[in-house]
Structure 1
Amino acid sequence: MPVNWKPHAAALADRVTPTGSRWHSPVAALARHLFVPRWWAGDDGWALRAGADDEEGWLAAAYADDSLVTRVGAAHADQARPGDRPAGRPTSSATLPSLLVRMFQHARLGDGHTLLDVGTGSGYGTGLACLRLGERQVSSVDVDPYLTEAAGQRLDQAGLRPQLHTLDASGELPGHYDRIVATVGIRPVPTSWLTALKPGGRLVTTIAGTTLVVTADKQDDGTARGRVEWDRAGFMHARHSTDYHALPDGLIEAARTEKGEFVTVSRYPVVDVDQAWDLSSMLGIEVPGIVYGYEEEAEQRTAWLAHPNGSWARAASQADGPPVVHQSGPRHLWDVLDDIRSYWLRHGELPVRGAHVLITPDGRTRLARGTWRATL
């Protein structure tokens, strides 16, 4: 018996697009459940969910405005067996529809524009772009051959046949485009993206390790100029191989439990960095590659930071008392965090959101706001 998905897609379109939006029809017309037949649920470790086992739950998950994780480490849900419990970080997902729509809206897509979609993933976002622009106007790339193959099959089921390419998007790209929209985080913008972007074309991406959305228009001199939008978005980092590079063995356990080489008392409360988006974005600019965590138990709050160079920090406090901070490694990560918080108090805000952006053909991305500067 066919799955009755159309009322669910129509309700999703009503939720994630404003009245009169040209994205309403694509969202309402695309069967999202086709692109996520199986996924990983992460309530208590990663557990496999299969749509065929529970059609009602499948439709509820697929047509919610949520991201569905489809790959953890090197383990894709499509290829998993019941009982598999993969470990590691999510490496691919079907992005929440409202975020896809917002990224495409930032691109200011117009009839006749050609689009490069960086990060094919499940293929759902590629499908939305096809329904908006026409399949001949859309190309999509992903580093993972299984993802592009599976996405191609599912797009074909939906009657859509865009150009799909398996390649590392930091290298040479297969054409020239009016718009490039990335649903993976990058740092810095690859030089090949400016080469592939037509003069007057627009780039929309996020900076890896932050929630910063960058929009930039290509100039006649080959640079791209724009801004960090006031919007926020979080995407997985662009991969260059099967999985992300692992942190040094034992580093997270050390951050969570060991006594540091340098022990102080912080002047600021313990903070859950993951939920403090502007703070985490500034930290991601200052210390790229940082990983963080947060735990609460009764009246104890603990936050930790770790970096691939071997640095780690942990701050813990009881109730509202001052946190004791343990730090080790070549860089004192909690000191960097506290310096950012001091800047915030002195200036009333952090400078990174709303910053001007200059992307140069030699691979540098420069951010500036007031007297603040950063180069990626």
Structure 2
Amino acid sequence: MTDPDIDLAAAKLRQQLADHLAAGGWLRSPTWRAAVEAIPRHVFVPRFYAETDAPGLTTWKPVTPQLVGVDKWLRQAYADETLITQFGGREIDWADPQPISNARPTSSSTLPALVVRMLEDLDVNEDTTVLEIGTGTGYSTALLCHRLGAHRVTSIETDPAVAARARGHLAHCGYRPRLLTCDGLLGYPEAGPYDRVIATMGVRSIPSAWIKQTRPGGLIVATLRGWMRSLGLVRLTVDDNGTAQGHFLSGDPSFMIARQQDAPESLGMIPAPDEGETRATAHGPELLTMADSGFVAQLAMPNARFFSMPADDGTVSTYVLDATNDAFATLTPSGDEWTVRQGGPVNLWDDVERSLALWQAADSPAPSEFGVTVTPDAQRVWLGSSDGPSWHLPG
């Protein structure tokens, strides 16, 4: 396939992608549709890893024009899928790429449906200035440049190699926004204040720098997440007194967490068999993995993580550990019911049960019924209204 053939095929695939995103309700405005139809995503992912449907450990396979053929590479480049371009913060050896399993993706071209949904939620106009945190491949940056003009776009990437590739991809498309390699959590005050801030990675709480660098009345669109799971996408309006408030948006987007806020490598200490106090509990570990109850559990235990492990007799227990203070809760089946053994400076499972009771008393609402208030002193998630039940986000 010659270059003109590639360009023609890519243009058709972009139109098909736009049709798909519009049909799904993600792409709603003509201006963003024009950007999707114009920006060649394949330029930003000349090679990538795609997740397979193989059973067992999550496995990704390499995709390049040489490995799978130009036609298949192009079709995958324009699929509504997240395409991985880095694992574990290390560069991929493209001289001999191999399938990768049980790895941690650290850079990608995000699912187009999520990208355009966030851009639509950003509510921009022709004069809007935007600070983007997390350049990645540069695809979303290019969409912003097409819509607003590159001079109104500032984008920050923490990884030098990732930033260098994005700069080259953007230049190839004729865009030269202000592209910086630094800590995105600190923003870039020199070009602020901005009308909008958008983050394409998850954060445990909203960095104060983002609020300080957003004009009063401006918006911040970002994903809040914990060490167990994503909490969800929030849109906050910044006030003229340095606070911000808003709601979670519908859906359950999950971004990689900011590297600066990643969980400690150690999960924490497994408690001794006789450590802590044991009681019956009405809730088993399944609540940690279910969508809505998992959201509440993450709020209740912002520093916890969990895993399951069989004992010598084959009984599988689930360990919930807080590596920041050594609190623990161990869930063990007892016939058709569960027991919990917990200890440390706080009783993790007590906190979960109290939070679940508050949530259930409100008729188990979806995350979109929760809001967020950020002040210079604290950040909290609340249910129903700002004076309703609330949970503090980690500082």
TM-score, length-normalised on structure 2?
A: 0.80
1:46/1:236 Cα in 2 relative to 1: closer, same or farther (>3 Å)? same
Q: What amino acid sits opposite 1:49 in the alignment? A: P
Give SS of 1:152's match.
helix
1:26/1:314 Cα in 2 relative to 1: closer, same or farther (>3 Å)? farther
Residue deviations 1:106-131, cap 9 Å, x none? Answer: 21111111111111112111111112
Counterpart of 2:124 in structure 1 is: 109
Counterpart of 1:179 in structure 2 is: 196
| 8 Å contact kept, 2:279–2:340 | yes
1:303/1:33 Cα in 2 relative to 1: closer, same or farther (>3 Å)? farther
Give SS of 1:105's match.
helix
Deviation for aligned residue 1:323: 3.2
Deviation for aligned residue 1:135: 1.7
Correspondences of 1:72-83 after superposition (within 5 Å): 72-77=87-92, 81-83=96-98
Counterpart of 2:77 in structure 1 is: 62
Residue deviations 1:23-71, cap 9 Å, x none? Answer: 2121122222222233334553544413221134323332221212222
Deviation for aligned residue 1:265: 3.9
Give SS of 1:183's match.
strand
Counterpart of 2:159 in structure 1 is: 144
Correspondences of 1:1-376 after superposition (within 5 Å): 1-2=2-3, 3=6, 4-17=9-22, 18=25, 21-22=29-30, 23-43=32-52, 44-52=57-65, 53-54=67-68, 55-77=70-92, 81-83=96-98, 85=100, 88-173=103-188, 174-176=190-192, 177-209=194-226, 210-240=230-260, 244-248=262-266, 254=270, 261-262=275-276, 263-271=278-286, 273-274=288-289, 276-292=290-306, 304-309=319-324, 310-315=326-331, 317=333, 321-325=336-340, 327=342, 330-350=345-365, 353-360=368-375, 362=376, 364-368=378-382, 369=385, 370-376=387-393
Q: Distance in 2 between matches of 1:225 and 1:345?
A: 24
| 8 Å contact kept, 2:62–2:98 | no
Q: Distance in 2 between matches of 1:250 and 1:135?
A: 45
| 8 Å contact kept, 2:216–2:240 | yes
Give SS of 1:181's match.
strand
| 8 Å contact kept, 1:185–1:208 | yes
Deviation for aligned residue 1:375: 3.2
| 8 Å contact kept, 2:287–2:294 | no
Give SS of 1:75's match.
coil
| 8 Å contact kept, 1:247–1:308 | no
1:89/1:312 Cα in 2 relative to 1: closer, same or farther (>3 Å)? farther
Higher deviation after alignment, 26-35 or 76-85 = 76-85
| 8 Å contact kept, 1:305–1:312 | yes
Residue deviations 1:312-337, cap 9 Å, x none? Answer: 5454559x922344556554444433
Q: What amino acid sits opposite 2:38 in the alignment? A: A
5+ residue gaps in structure 1? none
5+ residue gaps in structure 2? 310-314
Q: Distance in 2 between matches of 1:86 and 1:57?
A: 22
Q: Distance in 1 between matches of 2:263 and 2:321?
A: 14
| 8 Å contact kept, 1:142–1:165 | yes
Aligned residues: 364
Deviation for aligned residue 1:79: 5.5
TM-score, length-normalised on structure 1?
A: 0.83
Q: Distance in 1 between matches of 2:320 and 2:73?
A: 36
| 8 Å contact kept, 2:301–2:352 | no
1:153/1:159 Cα in 2 relative to 1: closer, same or farther (>3 Å)? same
Q: What amino acid sits opposite 1:94 in the alignment? A: S
Give SS of 2:170's match.
helix
Q: Distance in 2 between matches of 1:249 and 1:219?
A: 38
Give SS of 1:178's match.
strand
Deviation for aligned residue 1:307: 3.2
1:150/1:322 Cα in 2 relative to 1: closer, same or farther (>3 Å)? same
Q: Distance in 1 between matches of 2:305 and 2:95?
A: 27
Residue deviations 1:180-216, cap 9 Å, x none? Answer: 1111122322221122112221111121223332222
| 8 Å contact kept, 1:229–1:353 | yes
Deviation for aligned residue 1:163: 1.4
Q: Distance in 2 between matches of 1:76 and 1:61?
A: 21
| 8 Å contact kept, 1:351–1:372 | no
